[in-house]
Structure 1
Amino acid sequence: MTFSFSLVLVWLDLAGVFFFAVSGSLLAARKQFDIIGSLLLASVVSLGGGVIRDIIINAGPPVAFTNPAYLAPPLLATVLVYFLFSSVQRFTSLLVLFDAGGLALFCITGTLKALAAGMNPVAAVLLGVTTAVGGGLLRDITANEVPQLFDPKDIYALPAFAGAASTAILSLTGTFTAVSATAVTAVVFAFRVTAWRRHWHAPLAVRGWHRLGLGTAENGR
């Protein structure tokens, strides 16, 4: 690699933390949490995936608890939403956009950290996806929402799989650079947002079943 791997990884990670933190604070605003609840939800979504990742790769204490810089994005996101939310329109669109940004960045950093820890490519891709979707899953459960990961009318994990797999291939072939990282981020972001806007979805668990409200039959009945 022609750039500092560790430095770029930290900046990508912090950017992902910020994007996910904003999505958490936006959801807290919609649920009418107080500002402390907003900060806690922002922290859960933005740091949860990274904590899971660091525990799995046995990296010692999760970086979220050893590097104070990781506490700044949730605090900043909480303050921004507190002052700007009253003038924000199209709430759901904003939440999806920030969530997609965090998803795109975390699937890259999770995969790279797994590879750096000596995990095989398949395991690294799976950990990259886990890092990307873990925080959002914790956010939705905490806020008593149906997790986007399990929404049958949406695609959430597939963009993360695409980004993690692309990252692993680029890293193993020695072609992962700042430019390629930006390209992967943009593709995953566009994939996720386009899937949401156009209502793309994967087949249901049983062939022949229909989604509620999208077909004449409901759950095969």
Structure 2
Amino acid sequence: MNIIYYIDLLGTMVFAISGAMAANRSGIDIFGATFTGFVTAIGGGSLRDVFLNLRPIWVGDSNYLVAILIGVIISVVANKQLYRLARTLTFFDALGIGFFCVVGVQKSLTYESSQTAAVILGVFSAVMGGVIRDTLMNETPLIFRKEIYATACLSGAIMYVVLGTWGVDTATNAFISTLTVSAIRLVAVKYELSLPGIGG
């Protein structure tokens, strides 16, 4: 099993934490939190796999379901501690989009997508879990707000492709590109950076 597989599992767990935390914050019961964590964790990756004409990987690999369950349990058992670590969902969301962006790009390249398509699918798989989570919570998805969100994923996806072209090994490339996405997102939130709207 390669590094991308473990990154995908870790991203799945982190996004499950993010989804379940969002549900906990809204006062939803444990079943609702589990469901929200599940769809947040598998949403982007499943849609990416559909575009690649593949069966979503979690359907045939129970490790993904275990990762989701662990994420939900962590969010429920350590809810207060998690909020002290990251007062909002931002920390876990930033980690999740970083992991999923890299996995999306690499998997797309593995199945012979063009580099441009791989970048797009990397961004897509990174942001769609959050879109589903926010929609379920009746909130405007982050991607539709004036925040640096998808742009962070785009930067990391392009970096992954470029470093791969330069011959950087997969593990190092994945680490650097994931860190790039997460760091851009966290810095943008901390300093309230955003892209200009249409018309300025």
Number of the residue aligned with 1:14: 9
Number of the residue aligned with 1:63: 57
Aligned pairs, number: 200
User: Which structure's residues are more often helix, by fraction?
Assistant: 2
> What is the CA–CA distance in structure 2 between the aligned matches of 1:131 and 1:70, rounded to whole Å?
16
Number of the residue aligned with 1:166: 159
2:93 counterpart of 1:99: yes
> What is the CA–CA distance in structure 2 between the aligned matches of 1:87 and 1:189, rounded to whole Å?
21
Number of the residue aligned with 1:34: 29
1:181 is paired with a residue whose SS is helix
Instruction: Give runs of aligned pairs for residues 52-201 of structure 1, distance below 5 A.
Output: 52-59=47-54, 61-90=55-84, 93-152=87-146, 154-201=147-194
> What is the CA–CA distance in structure 2 between the aligned matches of 1:164 and 1:27, rounded to whole Å?
26
Alpha-carbon contact 1:22-1:98 (below 8 Å) kept: yes
2:197 is paired with a residue whose SS is coil
Number of the residue aligned with 1:205: 198
> What is the CA–CA distance in structure 2 between the aligned matches of 1:182 and 1:157, rounded to whole Å?
19
Letter in 2 for 1:189: S
User: Structure 1 regions of 5+ residues with no counterpart?
Assistant: 1-5, 208-221
Alpha-carbon contact 2:11-2:99 (below 8 Å) kept: yes
Runs of 4+ in 1 over 6 A off after TM superposition: none
Could you state the TM-score of these two structures normalised by the residue count of structure 1?
A: 0.86
Alignment RMSD (CA, Å): 1.5
Alpha-carbon contact 1:49-1:132 (below 8 Å) kept: yes
Distance 1:88-1:168 versus aligned 2 partners, 3 A rule: closer
- Cα deviation 1:121-160 (Å, max 9, x = unaligned): 11110000000001100110011111111112x2110110
Could you state the TM-score of these two structures normalised by the residue count of structure 2?
A: 0.94
1:206 is paired with a residue whose SS is coil
User: Structure 2 regions of 5+ residues with no counterpart?
Assistant: none
Q: Which has the larger radius of gyration?
A: 1
Identity of aligned residues (%): 33
